[in-house]
Structure 1
């Protein structure tokens, strides 16, 4: 399972909470800071070895079933403007989780339109369990993906070495339990209960993202924390980057009725599809305003969808 949560706005600090969790998923490699030492090999615990075997087996089974597809979905299914509009409403204007007694539980509910107003600065934090070769590969992939998202949304989205406001922690199950201080340092406004939840996510949550807003603008994201398991095999880890980063931009829900899409827990697609690209273009269209309800946004959603699918025919 992948998760995307929008945390409710906090009253105390400018950075409050908004949640968007759920397990999911180039250009030159950014130079590392000269004062950053090379990664030291981590001791792999029996639990972490078991997790690696579990996720490798899971990826193998999904691939054998014809899932985790890496194409753009253009040949798999057709959708017209009306369906695109319905899918956008389902993914962008519903929430997948609700807070109950300080915990986030699966519960579909209506939501207002959420997205970032300011620049998105993505910063990767790798645990010692992640080899240098994987770090280099993932940086290249993430940077290329962010450039693609920036073009689609016409919004500033960049990979940074420091000063991020969208922090992605890639860590083993052992490192996960010790992430609390690092998460709190990256996002001081995040509630302790949320930090505790991130550090205690069990194996059924493959990856997750928690996006936060400011009190005075409860639907305008200002920061995000994502967690990706380092035990994932290559494709599964890449899938987590794709889904969690996109969900942290404002497409926070998942639905089994929406396809061809990564915003669907059936794991049919591993990577962002052409359909999903259109959802992102719609989300950041200036004609849609942060905080709009489904009823307020629906006429505009339909107009934009008709423009993106002008022939009202299949992809």
Structure 2
């Protein structure tokens, strides 16, 4: 459940509390046209996920919390997954970008996760993708961009089941049919990101955990495509040693052998013993990132989240994210303090094995502030190496933002021909990341103003 806001505003997405029984992705603030040409599969290249960086003991704890709990905190009584081959169908007219992105994802699920999943053209399917207008989704779940519901295959069935109180995952004892509702008029990257998380949750984990460093199953909205960690979780979910109906204790007993077989390197990784995330920190960070709340309330919540992170003694990405969120809230009113928060976030991220993408976001913020403070050389040094990170993690929105920042730095250094070339190269990524109606000139002017808060 999550969604990144456009990075040209240099924001990080707002994670908001969800309806208790839904499994969804938090909404994007942008409204854009649905199609993009050409698809970017060849430009991203072959998927190159980073292998899991966590110890198998930690991954086992994570899988149990992902499989047996909802985001609301409610427990799930039994382990569920699809048994046997899985079919998937797209219902209705889909945006042009959906087919190549779905094809790429299904290939990864088959080849990397070992899940027997096939797209069909007609008839009943285990997973039905239902593109609907964004406004239709928001009428039901105002903070969601997309969501997955058990036991239905259409919007009409969902509404009928909702009225009858039959959409709760806590009542599911076996998975046979689920529907994933997607925003048909979203930017291509947002639509793809919804495909990755919601199909993964339709297949397996229903929870999101802030303690996961490199995963789409995390409400910090940083990762947008399935990571190496996520693929391992799905492989474990569909291992022959597990089956639908098992209890938490039974799954816990089976996981050590499963992970030793699937991820032998994880036996050599030190267990960082990441503690569960307390509810007060979750509520504080959600308030800090909720754009509809008054700014003083958000800043107070950001300060509280950082205080709680320090009180917990965290040294993981949650501490870095607390610094990052507070920096975002201060960037318009107090750029000097905001820069200090982003530097603190970057120090935390750079010391971790699973926070390269977090680090790239921090560098983007620092580069924007460096330009604002007339330090173009620093902005150039921050953005250039992180473009490879954004590309490896298939984040076109972040890549376009980094390239735009680099072009601004080159302009400021008098290297105008290079700046024009970088800006031109960024257009395809921007149209995929932000939508085909993305106005490069208007966005460049916003960025040149170097006041990210103005766009929020």
TM-score range, shorter chain: 0.5 to 0.7
Alignment partner, residue 181 of structure 2: 227
Counting only pairs closer than 5 Å after superposition, residues 267-306 of structure 1 correspond to structure 2 as: 267-306=221-260
Q: Could you report, residue by residue, the CA deviation over 1:180-219 in whole angstroms, capped at 9, with x for unpaired residues?
A: xxxxxxxxxxxxxxxxxx6832341111011239xxx953
2:134 aligned residue = 173
How far 1:309 moved relative to its partner?
Answer: 2.8
Which structure is higher in strand share?
1
Question: 1:74 corresponds to which residue?
Answer: 50
The 3-state SS of whatever aligns with 2:243 is coil
Q: Which of 20, 23, 31 is equivalent to 1:21?
A: 23
CA contact (8 A) 1:152 1:280 kept: no
Q: Which whole-Å CA distance do the structure 2 matches of 1:207 and 1:156 have between them?
A: 24
Separation (CA, whole Å) in 2 of partners of 1:252 and 1:293: 16
Looking at structure 2, the residues matched to 199 and 267 of structure 1 have their Cα atoms a distance apart, in angstroms, of 19
**Structure 2 unaligned residues grouped into runs of 5+:** 4-20, 33-45, 153-170, 270-352, 354-456
Aligned partners of 1:207 and 1:227 also within 8 Å:
yes
CA distance in 1, matches of 2:131, 2:201: 17
SS at match of 1:222: coil
Name the residue aligned to 1:109: 75
Q: Is the 8 A contact 1:115 1:221 kept in 2?
A: yes
Deviation, structure 1 residue 257: 1.3
Q: How do 1:90-109 and structure 2 match up within 5 A?
A: 90-96=65-71, 106-109=72-75
Q: Which residues of structure 1 form unaligned runs of 5+?
A: 4-18, 25-50, 57-69, 97-105, 177-197
Question: Which structure ranks higher in relative contact order (CA pairs < 8 Å, sequence separation ≥ 6)?
Answer: 1
- Distance in structure 1 (CA, Å) of the matches to 2:114 and 2:28: 37
Deviations 1:56-76 (A, max 9, x none): 6xxxxxxxxxxxxx986628x
Secondary structure of 2:242's aligned partner: coil
User: What whole-Å deviation, never above 9, does each CA across 1:95-145 have from its counterpart, x for those lacking one?
Assistant: 23xxxxxxxxx3332442110014322111345xx6xxx42x311221221
CA shift for structure 1 position 286: 0.9
SS state of the match for residue 50, structure 2? Answer: coil
1:156 paired to 2:116: yes
Aligned length: 221
SS in 2 for 1:291: coil
- Equivalent residue number for residue 90 of structure 2: 124
CA offset digits 1:216-255 (Å, max 9, x no partner): x953211111111123212111100000001001211111
Counterpart for residue 145 of structure 1 = 105
TM-score, normalising length: structure 1: 0.62
Larger fraction in helix: 2
Q: Which one has a bigger Cα radius of gyration?
A: 2
SS of match in other structure, 2:233: helix
The residue that corresponds to 1:65 in the other structure is none
| Aligned with 2:150 (options 202, 211, 223) | 211
CA distance in structure 2 between the aligned counterparts of 1:303 and 1:249, rounded to whole angstroms: 22
Between the aligned partners of 2:80 and 2:48, the Cα distance in structure 1 is: 25
Partner of 2:333: none
CA distance in 1, matches of 2:209, 2:28: 28
* SS of aligned partner of 2:24: coil
TM-score, L = length of structure 2: 0.44
Q: Mark the CA change 1:302 to 1:170 in structure 2 (over 3 Å): closer, same or farther.
A: same
C-alpha distance 307-202 of structure 1, shift in aligned 2 (>3 A): same
Q: Give secondary structure in 2 for the equivalent of 1:245.
A: helix
Task: Indicate how the Cα distance of structure 1 residues 23 and 271 shifts in structure 2: closer, same or farther if over 3 A, else same.
Answer: same
Structure 1 partner of 2:411: none
